[in-house]
Structures are given as structure tokens and as C-alpha cells.
Amino acid sequence: MAVNRLCLGALQGRFLLKIEQIPGGRVIIVDERMLEWIAQRIPAMGPGYEWQMASAIGLGHKGKIIAGMAVHNYLPHYRSCELTFASDTPIWATKISMRAMLAYPFEQLGVRRIMTVIAESNVRAIRVNEHLGFKLEGRCRYGCGNEDALIFGLLKEETPDWMGFASDEKPAITGT
């Protein structure tokens, strides 16, 4: 079953509410409240965090939000942006879900490069990034309070074949 192309409406850097079904019983949620949901799950941000020129999409399953992705530091001229992920459970990280969420920066925004910044102790996030094809690009000493921040980058042409972003073909993704 192919992943549906996301049709997202943007309004001044915030999204209009949109929900779209994807395979596996999950839905993509596009709502300005997703930024707050993400910030509440990241200790350094917390409730009320002031995102600068950010937008977000989320992933729902069985009536609950289970993951969110904020897109910020978007530089259209350079075709790059930064992503911040948050989740309540690792069950969100299926191939279908990851491809659907990354379709926004790669297909809708047309970026070539995305980056993430991860606390060195966040081993689960590091593993997910590496699984998605992100490469470790640098280290900011004490960039996350009392620990180093690791900078990961992913070029569109370096994404795994199962995502289908490296070519113009849109793959049919089945399973999890």
C-alpha cells in the first residue's frame, strides 16, 4: 500500500488542522498545537517554549498522539531545515510513519538537507537517526546543558532506498 502524499496548508508558519489516514491504522495530524505537544516532551524546552518560525506534524494511533516532528530553522534559499522529534512510545517508528513524516520537509518544502541536534545520552534517538540514514556531522561541547550535543545531517539523496526520496519514484511501502 503506497503512502498517500500529504496535502498540507500553511498559514504564517503555522498549519491548519488536517488529518490524513496512512497505512497501519495511523494518521498524520497537522495542527498548530503539535508544537506545544513536542515542547512538553523535551526537558530543555518544556511548556510554553517559544518556537521561532516553526511548523509541526504529528502521528496519531488509536485516538492518541504518539509522536511529533517540528520543522524549524527552515532556510529555503539553502534548501535545509532542522527537525526535532518527540514521542511517547517507540511504536511510532515504522517505515510507513517515518516516510510519511519526512515527506513534509523533502517533498513539500523541497529541502535537500535536514539536520537534528541530539543530547549525547539520548541513545534511542541516535539509533533512530542512524536507521534513517543520518550521519554524525559534529559535536557541540556542552551543547545540551551538562552534556554534549551531537549534530546529525541527512541529505535527500542519502535516504534509505525504502523511503524513495533519493529518486523521483514513490515506493510502495508495505509492513512496518
Q: Which domains does the chain have, with CATH numbers?
A: 10-163 (3.40.630.30)
User: What is the average pLDDT value for the chain, to the nearest integer?
Assistant: 78
Q: How confident is the model at residue 1 (pLDDT cuts 50, 70, 90)?
A: very low
More confident residue, 37 or 6: 37
More confident residue, 50 or 73: 73
Q: How confident is the model at residue 28 (pLDDT cuts 50, 70, 90)?
A: low
pLDDT in tens, 97-129: 888 889 889 988 899 999 999 999 999 899 989
- Kindly report the pTM of this predicted structure: 0.77
SS3 sequence of 130-174: HHCCCEEEEEEEEEECCEEEEEEEEEHHHCCHHHCCCCCCCCECC
Measured between alpha carbons, how far is 57 from 72 in angstroms, rounded to an integer? Answer: 12
Angle at 99 between CA 20 and CA 4, to 5 degrees: 35
